[in-house]
Amino acid sequence: MFSKLVAPHGGRGLVCALLSGEELSAEKEKAKGLKQIEVSDRAKGDLIMMGIGGFSPLDGFMTRADWKGVCENLQMADGTFWPVPITLDVSAADAAGISEGDEIALVNKGEIYATMKVAEKYEMSEADKKWECEKVFKGNGEDSADDKFWEVAMEDHPGVIMVMAQKDVNLAGRVKVLSEGEYTKEYPGVYLTPAQTRRMFDDRGWANVAALQLRNPMHRSHEYLAKIAVEVCDGVLIHSLIGNLKPGDIPANVRIKAIQILIDNYFVEDNIINAGYPLDMRYAGPREGLLHATFRQNYGVNNMLIGRDHAGVGDFYGLFEAQEIFDRIPKTGDSGKDLQCKPMKIDWTFYCHKCDGMASMRTCPHGKEDRVILSGTKLRKALSEGAEIVDHFGRDEVLDLLKEYYAGLTEKVEVKMQKAASGADMK
């Protein structure tokens, strides 16, 4: 059957490093005799995405030239668009025993996830890491001001903290992926590969597909965004992060269940797919919005919903900076190398009592006093403190599930409010 879906990013189809059958068995056996390198949870997620084609055209971790080009110009060395470095850090002690051309096994918590043929190793100084952080994580918000960024970021920006804590050497090279980890067992029917979502879209006759990125349970604004997309597209992929989040965020199994409750009760099921992907959140704000669009293209999506403070953290980014960055990305004229997934830019959305329904700044003429400001951070803060949830913030069925989850917690993490979540900047 001829597919009408957008082609995978990179111009080479889905590039999948995951082995199967006899080839997998042989590589697993070989891996037992290779030098074992422990990798981070973030690298584990990156490996799985390379395995299933989610990071097409990447087939391994980036060289220094790719790392530099991505940080500086949003392009790998060959000109292919890519917004966030995908690198593998190892200790200087481990790197000392590895030469270019060596094969190594990449291990996370006792499981071998991949083998790798090392093509390059390069040092990452403190200055290199700081430069990466300033290029990738610094935005236009108050916390990103020149005189404030480093003072605030090392305490409050999980992405910056993660990069600065990386080890001192990066290894680059192609990988052969041996495992999808726990995701197939823990999230059956929700953890889907790009090949699977593309097949589902084709079976439904979808050609114009939107994705809604989620790291929080769906509140009324998320629901409204998805329904806007349903009206103008063939269907919507509600695509949740099922990798690791920062402390205080709601775990994936609870979020997935909440989304399904909404789909079952408030959507036409034929127009929605509830799915998850195995990455850790990087909290890179606008750059992460671009990453979300890039790998969603591999899943068969050609429209990425981008609302207020997409993938934001603290007050590091402007409210709509993740929308604006799409207007500044480089273009080569080569459809394989350039990003083909386009942003669906949606204004600030809220419940308006006078409109008697969901609205946005483009449709509602009323004042702040008539509006219920909706945000995942605001919801998590209220739930964690046992505070009352205002009317029209979320669906009762979902709020009941979340209240039950929070009631069962023995330790709670303080949730900090940022301006984007409070509505302080709303006109």
Based on the residue annotation, tell me whether 303 is a catalytic residue of this protein: no
Tokens at 386, concatenated: 């046992």
- Residues with Cβ within 8 Å of residue 23, at least 6 apart in sequence: none
On whether the CB atoms of residues 238 and 274 are closer than 8 A, the answer is yes
DSSP string, 175-226: EEE---TTHHHHSTTTB--HHHHHHHHHHHT--SEEEEEESS---HHHHHHH
For Cα atoms 153, 246, 314, give the angle at the middle one, nearest 5 degrees: 40
* Residues 64, 50: Cα–Cα separation, whole Å: 19
Q: What values do phi and psi take at 210, rounded to 5?
A: -110, 150
On whether the CB atoms of residues 8 and 55 are closer than 8 A, the answer is no
Helices 149-156 and 126-136 sit at what angle, rounded to 10 degrees? 90
Catalytic residue among 216, 271, 298, 303: 216
* Residues 5, 2: Cα–Cα separation, whole Å: 9
Whose CA is closest to 242, among 286, 299, 182?
182
Q: Calculate the alpha carbon distances from 105 to 112, 113, 175, 365, 415 in Å.
A: 7, 8, 9, 59, 38
- Residues with Cβ within 8 Å of residue 25, at least 6 apart in sequence: none
Amino acid, res. 33: G
Tokens at 132, concatenated: 């990466």
401, with CB counted inside 10 A (0-12, 13-18, 19+), is middle
Whose CA is closest to 9, among 295, 237, 238, 213?
295
> Residue 403, SS3?
helix
On whether the CB atoms of residues 377 and 421 are closer than 8 A, the answer is yes
Based on the residue annotation, tell me whether 244 is a catalytic residue of this protein: no
- Residues with Cβ within 8 Å of residue 275, at least 6 apart in sequence: 190, 191, 192, 197, 237, 238, 239, 240
Catalytic residue among 42, 215, 220, 380: 215
Helix, strand, coil content of the chain in percent (nearest 5): 40, 20, 45
Instruction: Quote the distance between the C-alpha of residue 76 and its chain's center.
Output: 19
Active centre residues (catalytic): 215-216
